[in-house]
Structure formats: C-alpha cells, structure tokens
C-alpha cells in the first residue's frame, strides 16, 4: 500500500493507478466463479456500453487493445456461449458482436457480483464524498481529453 497522504498532488496519479488495480483485483475475485477473467468481463461490460452490434474495431478502440487481443478474447467468449460475431449484409468485412441469451444471463450475474464488490469497496465513504470523487474524476478525464485533442 502507498503511504503518501492523498492530498499530495505529486502522488495522485500513482494513487489513482493503485486504487484502480486494487478495484479490478477485487472485482476479478468476485466474478471468477462465473468463469470470467478481467479481459472477458471488461469486454462484456464494454459491449453493453457500446450497444449490441458494436464492431470488433469499435470494441478494440474502446478497450484500448489491439485487434488480435480482442479477437482472442472474443473467441473465448464465443466458446463459453456468451457472444456471437455476425457479418452484416451491408459490409461483409465488418464483424458485429452480440450477446447470446446465456451472455445476457451471465451479464446479469456479473452486475450482481460487481455490485457486491462496489459495496465492499465504497464502505464507509459518505455519499457527499462519493459525489465529490465523481466530479473530480470527471474533471480529470475532461482535462486529459482536452489536452490530448489539442495535440
């Protein structure tokens, strides 16, 4: 665990990264009984966020990974019967990804287990502090996107 005070700006990026890794580790352990590794559950959540029928390219970009890595994870999810890749009639070069009925069921179970993890991780943090955290993270994201888009 990092021993720096949370108000030290010079350590803020490290603390954010450390908290993120710990959060993911807790979720990983929580969803492991569903047969989902971190790449698999993040892909499922991202597909839901983008919407069924998102393309492989859209998924790879949203996840910040290369297409070969995405393709491998999609193949694993297909083997588990959670997603299907389909070829739209309008552009046969594209592969769209959709959930199977089992994929929808597992996604519901994933949500329930992730909710348990969230409850555990946010225990003892008052609503007002959570709202402040959301606002601060949103501002950091916005500042980063603005800076990156100006380059």
Q: Mind listing the pLDDT tens digit for each residue in 89-112?
A: 888 899 999 999 999 999 999 999
- Within the chain, which residues score under 70 in pLDDT? 1-7
Beta bridge partners of 84: 98
CA pair distance 4, 25, nearest whole angstrom: 21
Cα dihedral across residues 42, 45, 48, 51: positive or negative:
negative
CA–centroid distance for 50 within its chain:
11
Q: Assess contact for 45 and 54: CB atoms under 8 A.
A: no
């Amino acid at each position: 665990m990092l021993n720096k005070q949370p108000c030290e700006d010079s350590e803020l990026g490290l603390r954010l990264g450390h908290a993120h890794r710990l959060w993911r580790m807790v979720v990983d352990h929580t969803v492991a009984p569903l047969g989902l590794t971190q790449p698999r559950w993040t892909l499922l959540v991202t597909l839901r966020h983008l919407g069924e029928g998102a393309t492989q390219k859209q998924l790879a970009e949203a996840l910040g990974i290369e297409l070969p890595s995405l393709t491998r994870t999609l193949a694993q999810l297909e083997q588990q019967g959670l997603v299907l890749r389909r070829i739209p009639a309008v552009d046969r070069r594209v592969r769209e990804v959709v959930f199977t009925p089992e994929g929808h069921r597992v996604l519901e179970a994933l949500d329930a287990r992730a909710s348990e993890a969230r409850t555990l991780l946010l225990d003892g943090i008052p609503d007002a502090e959570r709202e402040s955290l959301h606002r601060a993270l949103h501002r950091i994201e916005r500042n980063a996107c603005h800076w990156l888009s100006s380059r």
